[in-house]
Amino acid sequence: MTLSYRRPTEEDARLLLDWRLRPDISRHLFTQVEDDMGKQRAWLARSNARDDYHHRIMMVDGVPVGYASITITHAAWGIATLGAYMADRRGRTGSAPLNFAHALNHVFYALGLRKVVNQVMADNDRVLRGQTMLGYRHVGVLKDHAVKEGQAYDVHLFEISAGEWAEKRLKFREYADWDGHMWPPG
């Protein structure tokens, strides 16, 4: 299994929209997505133009399997949030922890940030388990925080610092970032 990443292009608009509209993915997203290619292309163009937003299509053996993004939420403080979804089973079995290891390496080494704070919908069991496996600390639960289609949902908060990741990533022995740059320990 070879894991790689590439920046989304305008040609990926349909693929990303189809993924974002899938019920198994959309139910965990914080935003509602319309089946509108014009809006999707505009979102992709805005995303590609932003300095505070970094995103990639995840690939397993050259096949697109998912999407990940890093949003710098507070540049002066060096804080970001990381989001991802797997659209293909190949991205969920075996490679999922590596996807996040590469993303965290990108956050802390390529971008030089100091902390990631993630918000996860309470019913997203797989991601809730994965956060602690990756070394995130569970900060708490925001009750009835997110509202989608008129219904309120609890949201779990997790955080990990650059120092915590520097120790935890030794377990995974994955030192590459999204662009393939190696960041060896030490």
The set of long-range contacts for 110-114, using a CB threshold of 8 Å and a minimum separation of 24, is 110/177, 110/178, 110/179, 110/181, 110/183, 111/54, 111/70, 111/72, 111/80, 112/78, 113/72, 113/78, 113/79, 113/80, 113/162, 114/77, 114/78, 114/79, 114/161, 114/162
Q: Which domains does the chain have, with CATH numbers?
A: 3-172 (3.40.630.30)
Strand 137-148 to strand 53-60: parallel, antiparallel, or no bridges (unpaired)?
unpaired
Task: Report pLDDT for 126.
Answer: 85
pLDDT class for 95, splitting at 50, 70, 90?
low
- Cα R_g (the chain), whole angstroms: 16
Separation between Cα atoms, residue 155 and residue 146, nearest integer Å? 7
pLDDT class for 90, splitting at 50, 70, 90?
low
CB contact burial 110-121 (16+ within 10 A = b; e otherwise):
eeebebbbbebb
Task: Report pLDDT for 110.
Answer: 97
> Percentage of the chain surpassing pLDDT 90?
69
Asked if the model's pLDDT at residue 89 lies above 80, the reply is no
pLDDT in tens, 128-185: 888 988 999 999 999 999 998 888 999 999 999 999 999 999 998 989 999 999 999 8
The pTM of the full predicted model, rounded to 2 decimals, is: 0.91
Task: Report pLDDT for 92.
Answer: 52
Distances (CA, A) of 5 to 128, 139, 141, 180: 24, 30, 32, 8
Asked if the model's pLDDT at residue 91 lies above 60, the reply is no
Asked if the model's pLDDT at residue 118 lies above 60, the reply is yes
Please calculate the CA angle 63-65-66 and round it to the nearest 5 degrees. 140
Amino acid at 177: D
